[in-house]
Amino acid sequence: MACATSYSPDPHAVSKAEAQSYYAGLPSEPTLVYRTGKEQWSPPSGPEAQRRLKELREVFGHPITKVWHHDLAWKVVSVMDDHKIRFTTIDIVRFKNVEVDEAPEDEEEGEDEETVEATKKLVLSPVTIWIGVFPDSTTATAAHHAAQSVLALLQKYQITDVDVDFRESIYTRNVGPRLLKPVDDLDPLVDVVSPLTPALGLRISTRARPDAQGTMALYLAEGGGSNRLLGLSCRHVLIGSQEGNLDYSYHPGAPVKDVLLLGKRAYAEVVDSIKFAIRGHEISAKRWRKQIEGFKEREKGNDAADVAKAEASRIKTEELLDEAEKAMEELGGFLDQVDKEWKKIDSRVIGHILRSPPIGLGVSEQHFTEDWGVFVVDRTKLGDGFQGNKMDLGTKMEPKEFTIKCFPCGDANWEFEYPEDRLLPLKGVITDDLMRAPDTWDSDGEPCLLVAKRGNATGTTLGRANGIFSIVRDYFNDMSINQTSMEWGIINYDSKSDVFSEPGDSGSIIADIRGRIGGMLTGGSGKTKTFDVTYATPFWWLLERIQASGFPNAHLGVVA
């Protein structure tokens, strides 16, 4: 007689509601697997209940920072391997929770907005070792046992105030004519021309893979008596995996591997953006023409005051119509120019690859990721608008909004000033020491390293660099072979702002708001391909690797 099998729930599992809602507020809203923290979680209740939202916050100055990079990080990796945990990333973070105190039952409904705001309080979580695992790969019990081993390990370092969380998360690697001058904010082309200017954030691809998109990090001067201008990006942007992870060096006379400005999708997006801008002006112009006719009818009336008002409105609306018609004319001409000069792939070749070592994780004593390639840039393509390493801050954020987000940094001798031409000059490098202990602070006086990037997928965004480097692990096809590396982690600015990066932003340079170069973006992690954390290779280390790989005199002193 067959025996019926009984189902035993995982004794360490959280409820389904908590698993799905615990990280509400984070861009990818990853699923919680297990946590050691003492936070009491309960599902929202009532007809107007709202989920409690979380934001990631960086970590500086905690005792774990002194030992993590030395050896603790790799001991945590060993714990994960001993427990057969298929982790993808390990980050050290805090969470900022916005909690709303429950109102007394006898309190009248319809509280005013100020009363509700007064009940809100910001709660900063303990420092948390935040471990990402493949979806459906790890039980709560397995995570519990691994977490207890991590907590025991921390006690050996006299660290007893750190939580361990497991969440489901994947790690993803993000992938002719002369260029035009940047334009000012009042130019009709301001929202559409930036992909065709030489400012940093160039959207690049290759002739071999025009469907793959990425970003050029920055320009380098080859130096050593050479006047060649070099471009830097990720290897996985420049060379596809189908070519094998082999060392590549260009030899004169051999076929070249062309680098393109704008792949297929990026070119189509530029064309669509111009058409969208034209359509917007057409809609406005149609509306204003109707309004002008209405004002003219009112001007025929007998009410002198209304006639005067209608006349003033007509004159102002005619000015708006004139501006819209001029903008449509300029945008139409620009669309014709793009179609004529940039449509063919041959017209979009800006150089060819010179050098790209194999992708490696855990490289050198720092255990960083080596994922870069250098290509020679055709200077004749850059045009008169080339100004060297300057980051276009774009038009997604108004200068006022951007400046407000760059809060006072506690330095009476310096404050952020939005550049008049939107181009932020990049000078100097963020050192390893400054990455861990920054010389800038947020509006609450807490250490904060505010950074910006301009990428192919998300344009210009702001983020917060973490003071403790993250661990990332790449798996090969059979999942039994992997490589593990340290990366500089960047979290999103806050829950109301755009995510710092998405797939397609690989290769973007990340700099702080003083213009100091921090790192090259390599990937990100999240439950989906929406990233909660972005990862980058520190530039101070990357430049050393480039100089040791055939470009001993490469430097940032690019002459425009």
User: For residue range 233-280, what is the model confidence (pLDDT) as tens digits?
Assistant: 999 989 988 888 899 999 998 999 999 888 788 888 888 888 988 999
pLDDT for position 182? 63
Q: What is the β-pairing status of strands 423-425 and 390-392?
A: antiparallel
Residue with tokens 């760059």: 406
In terms of Cβ atoms closer than 10 Å to its own Cβ (0-12, 13-18, 19+), residue 86 is: middle
**Residue with the larger pLDDT of the pair 486 and 203:** 486
Contact 477, 419 (CB under 8 A): no
Give me the mean pLDDT over the 14-20 stretch: 93
Contact 229, 166 (CB under 8 A): no
pLDDT for position 413? 53
Return the amino acid letter for 372: W
Helix (H) or strand (E) holding 266: helix 264-298
pLDDT for position 241? 82
Helix (H, G, I), strand (E, B) or coil at 364: coil
Helix (H) or strand (E) holding 225: none
pLDDT for position 110? 46
- Cα–Cα distance between 50 and 59 in angstroms, integer? 28
- Cα–Cα distance between 294 and 212 in angstroms, integer? 52
- Among 46-55, 155-164, 300-309, 398-407, the minimum mean pLDDT is found in 46-55
Helix, strand, coil percent values for the chain (each to nearest 5):
30, 30, 45
Say yes or no to pLDDT of 173 above 90: no
User: For residue range 41-92, what is the model confidence (pLDDT) as tens digits?
Assistant: 888 765 555 677 899 999 999 999 999 999 999 999 999 999 999 999 999 9
User: For residue range 507-539, what is the model confidence (pLDDT) as tens digits?
Assistant: 899 999 999 999 999 999 998 778 999 999 999
Say yes or no to pLDDT of 9 above 90: no
- Cα–Cα distance between 24 and 125 in angstroms, integer? 15
- Among 412-426, 436-450, 495-509, the minimum mean pLDDT is found in 412-426
Which residues lie below 8 Å from residue 529, measured CB to CB, with a gap of 6+?
A: 170, 172, 502, 503
pLDDT for position 120? 47
Helix (H, G, I), strand (E, B) or coil at 138: coil
pLDDT for position 104? 44
Q: How many other CB atoms sit within 10 Å of the CB of residue 157?
A: 16
The CA-atom distances, in angstroms, between 534 and each of 60, 106, 393, 503 are: 18, 47, 19, 10
The two tokens of residue 363 are 């490289």
Give me the mean pLDDT over the 487-516 stretch: 92
The CA-atom distances, in angstroms, between 350 and each of 154, 207, 377, 379 are: 51, 11, 6, 8
Looking from the CA of 463 toward its CB, the CA atoms found within 13 Å total 33
- Cα–Cα distance between 487 and 469 in angstroms, integer? 6
**Residue with the larger pLDDT of the pair 223 and 175:** 223
Torsion-angle region of 174 (φ positive above 0: left; ψ -120 to 50: alpha; else: beta): beta
**Residue with the larger pLDDT of the pair 464 and 527:** 464
- In this prediction, residue 105 has a pLDDT band, given cuts at 50, 70 and 90, of very low
**Residue with the larger pLDDT of the pair 164 and 7:** 164
Q: How many other CB atoms sit within 10 Å of the CB of residue 547?
A: 15
